[in-house]
């Protein structure tokens, strides 16, 4: 259950037994002198047992990971699995910092962590020229502080792009985890700074566009990401009216089909709805403030969009040896609802994607929704790491 070559290995396990899953993942991605090792796993595992088994198998390797709302493996989309990759130290330098206590996160603290991480990479003699460097953020998907964390880090990265995903818990929307130093952690994030000896391309892709159907947020709690009123009406029935459905029909799959968008700097970005609440309010995956004008979104063909995206990537860096992909869980649900998940999964397999279905994606200092975002890494070594 492994694939890859020349310093990059990709693998997965479909076993639900933590010991077997950890063993199969280790066999798939282990290689001499690992520079970076990452895994993504279902929250359905016994996480304490899985943590112990991963720690035992990988030993001194500083492997990191997070829980998911679905996995993107070398054989496409899977649920209830573990998948991951490793990059040889000959190809990359990587330094990792864990950020604890996100619920009490302060911008100054995030800036100190970012500065320290840059200094650690510099001490290794790694050149952090932008075209060869990237930062990856894995963060608790149920934290309400992703935007603050991103803002603090992005401002200190000297232009190095940040890409990442928010951990999931199989749409239970209760607790999500990141893995570091032998344990799963909640209310935490992992910031990894990488200098790599291969061509890389950061990407952010969505298959929605804004329509002329507008709605105004007239009641909101941005800290809790709750919208209580739209157009001066209770949010749930008003949203349902706008999309032409009964409020009782509102499910995650419906929200995936009918997202809303905001316009920022001349570009539309999706603001995904997490759930309808019993009090008539809507919970979002991103902060939404009063006075914001939302537009109902319409979708384009997700398969056509994926083909176009990978065509662009291949034109710029050649066939990717690894794509670290953060794919919004709502895209997964939409693809399944439209019976396109197997087709989309095949495209991801053809382009060596390893990743997960997330509760939000990070790109260019922004928390975004309903996107496929990530890091494409080419096959040709082109400089010293």
Given this model, what pLDDT does residue 287 score?
Answer: 83
Mean pLDDT, the chain, rounded, equals 92
Give the model confidence (pLDDT) of 136-193 as tens digits.
999 999 988 888 898 899 889 888 999 999 999 999 999 999 999 999 999 999 999 9
Average pLDDT (262-280) is 88
- The three-state secondary structure class of 385 is coil
CA–CA separation, 85 and 3 (whole Å): 9
Given this model, what pLDDT does residue 123 score?
Answer: 85
**What is the three-state SS of 111-132?**
HHHHHHHHHHHHHCCCCCCHHH
Please name every residue paired with 67 in a beta bridge, in sequence order, or none if there are none.
41
Given this model, what pLDDT does residue 1 score?
Answer: 55
CA–CA separation, 364 and 160 (whole Å): 9
* Structure-block tokens of residue 331: 């895209």
Given this model, what pLDDT does residue 8 score?
Answer: 96
Give the model confidence (pLDDT) of 66-90 as tens digits.
999 999 999 999 999 999 999 999 9
Closest CA to 324 of 362, 272, 380, 274: 362
Question: What is the enclosing helix (H) or strand (E) of 168?
Answer: none
State how far the alpha carbon of 351 is from the alpha carbons of 166, 186, 323, 344, 371, in Å.
22, 32, 7, 11, 17
Residue that wins the pLDDT comparison between 269 and 294:
294
Given this model, what pLDDT does residue 12 score?
Answer: 98
CA–CA separation, 63 and 339 (whole Å): 35
In this structure, what are the phi and psi dihedrals at residue 53, rounded to the nearest 5 degrees?
Answer: -70, -40
Residue that wins the pLDDT comparison between 137 and 210:
137
Packing angle between helix 302-317 and helix 341-350, nearest 10 degrees?
0
Closest CA to 72 of 320, 294, 378, 374: 374
Lowest mean pLDDT among 20-24, 206-210, 219-223, 262-266: 262-266
- The three-state secondary structure class of 289 is coil
What structural domains does the chain harbor? 2-205+302-378 (no CATH), 208-299 (2.40.30)
Q: Which residues contact 296 (CB under 8 A, 6 or more apart)?
A: 210, 211, 213, 214, 215, 242, 243, 258, 260, 261
Q: What angle is formed at CA 136 by the lines to CA 354 and CA 61, rounded to 5 degrees?
A: 75
Percentage of residues in the chain having pLDDT higher than 90:
74
Please determine, for residue 210, whether its predicted confidence score (pLDDT) is greater than 90: no
Packing angle between helix 302-317 and helix 329-337, nearest 10 degrees?
130
Closest CA to 86 of 14, 9, 151, 141: 9
Please determine, for residue 382, whether its predicted confidence score (pLDDT) is greater than 80: no
pTM above 0.75, yes or no: yes
- Spell out the alpha helix ranges (H) of 155-228: none
Given this model, what pLDDT does residue 130 score?
Answer: 46
Please determine, for residue 365, whether its predicted confidence score (pLDDT) is greater than 90: no
Question: What is the enclosing helix (H) or strand (E) of 316?
Answer: helix 302-317
Please determine, for residue 17, whether its predicted confidence score (pLDDT) is greater than 60: yes
Given this model, what pLDDT does residue 76 score?
Answer: 96
- Torsion sign (Cα): 165, 170, 172, 176: negative
In this structure, what are the phi and psi dihedrals at residue 294, rounded to the nearest 5 degrees?
Answer: -100, 150
- Tokens 């803002």 found at: 151
Closest CA to 73 of 312, 292, 327: 327
Give the model confidence (pLDDT) of 232-268 as tens digits.
999 999 999 999 999 999 998 889 889 999 988 778 8
Reported confidence tier of residue 217, pLDDT bands at 50, 70, 90 = very high
- Spell out the alpha helix ranges (H) of 86-222: 107-123, 146-154
Given this model, what pLDDT does residue 253 score?
Answer: 85
Most confident listed range (64-68, 119-123, 273-277, 330-334): 64-68
Given this model, what pLDDT does residue 384 score?
Answer: 46
């Amino acid at each position: 259950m492994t694939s890859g070559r020349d310093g990059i290995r990709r693998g997965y396990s479909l076993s639900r037994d933590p010991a077997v899953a950890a063993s199969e993942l280790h066999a798939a991605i282990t290689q001499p002198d690992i520079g970076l090792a990452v895994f993504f796993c279902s929250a359905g595992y016994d996480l304490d047992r899985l943590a112990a088994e991963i720690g035992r198998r990988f030993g001194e390797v500083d492997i990191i990971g997070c829980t998911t709302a679905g996995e993107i493996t070398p054989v496409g989309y899977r649920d209830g699995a573990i998948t991951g990759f490793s990059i040889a130290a000959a190809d990359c330098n990587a330094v990792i910092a864990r950020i604890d206590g996100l619920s009490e996160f302060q911008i100054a603290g995030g800036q100190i962590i970012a500065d320290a991480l840059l200094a650690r990479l510099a001490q290794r003699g790694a050149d952090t020229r932008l075209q060869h460097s990237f930062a990856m953020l894995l963060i608790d998907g149920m934290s309400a502080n992703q935007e603050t964390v991103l803002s603090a880090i992005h401002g200190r990265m000297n232009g190095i792009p940040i890409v990442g995903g928010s951990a999931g818990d199989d749409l239970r929307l209760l607790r999500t985890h990141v893995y570091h130093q032998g344990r799963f952690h909640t209310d935490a994030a992992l910031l990894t700074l990488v200098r790599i000896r291969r061509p890389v391309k950061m990407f952010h892709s969505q298959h929605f566009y804004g329509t002329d159907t507008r709605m105004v947020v007239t009641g909101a709690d941005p800290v809790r990401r709750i919208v209580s009123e739209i157009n001066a009406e209770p949010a749930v029935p008003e949203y349902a009216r706008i999309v032409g459905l009964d409020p009782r029909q509102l499910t995650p799959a419906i929200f995936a089909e009918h997202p809303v968008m905001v316009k920022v700097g001349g570009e539309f970005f999706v603001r995904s709805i997490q759930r309808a609440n019993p009090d008539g309010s809507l919970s979002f995956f991103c902060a939404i403030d009063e006075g914001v004008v939302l537009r109902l979104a319409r979708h384009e063909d997700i398969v056509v969009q994926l083909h176009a995206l990978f065509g662009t990537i291949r034109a710029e860096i050649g066939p990717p040896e690894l794509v670290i992909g953060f794919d919004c869980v709502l895209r997964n649900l939409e693809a399944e609802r439209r019976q396109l998940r197997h087709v989309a999964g095949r495209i991801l397999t053809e382009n060596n994607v390893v990743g997960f279905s997330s509760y939000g994606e990070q790109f260019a200092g922004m928390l975004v929704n309903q996107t496929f975002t990530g890091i494409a890494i080419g096959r040709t070594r082109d400089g010293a790491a």
